[in-house]
Amino acid sequence: DAKTTQPPSMDCAEGRAANLPCNHSTISGNEYVYWYRQIHSQGPQYIIHGLKNNETNEMASLIITEDRKSSTLILPHATLRDTAVYYCIVPLSGNTPLVFGKGTRLSVIA
């Protein structure tokens, strides 16, 4: 798996966009970037994934730089329920084991 680096924590005001960065400078050409989050001690929740094009779904947007060495997860209007630990993961392929780091602890503040 490509190693990923994320800031340990971030704060975001409720209603504002939360931009969570991730560095994955050793990513190879066919490896996808996946984002998960874990709210309290619930199971990790899949958010979004992408290869090189920007992606958007009902939960978030994923912006991947042209050189693919970094990406940003965007929660467009953060709510208190988005408070969680967010993980950026680059596995060898979709069915290989996910390696969870420490992630970014996002605190959404009222």
Partner 1 sequence: EPEVTQTPSHQVTQMGQEVILRCVPISNHLYFYWYRQILGQKVEFLVSFYNNEISEKSEIFDDQFSVERPDGSNFTLKIRSTKLEDSAMYFCASSDTGWRTSLDQPQHFGDGTRLSIL
Q: How far is CA 9 from the centre of its chain?
A: 13
Nearer to partner 1, 12 or 37 (CB): 37
Of positions 8, 29, 53, 93, contacts partner 1 by CB under 8 A: 93
Q: Mask of contacts with partner 1, 7-46, x by CB under 8 A? A: -------------------------x-x---x--xxxxxx
Q: Mask of contacts with partner 1, 58-77, x by CB under 8 A? A: --------------------
DSSP 8-class letter at 30: T
Q: Provide the edge-to-edge strand list for the sheet that holds 55-56.
A: 18-23, 70-75, 61-64, 55-56
Residues 30 and 96: beta-carbon distance below 8 Å: no
Residues 109 and 12: beta-carbon distance below 8 Å: yes
Interface with partner 1 (CB under 8 A): 32, 34, 38, 41-46, 49, 51, 93-102
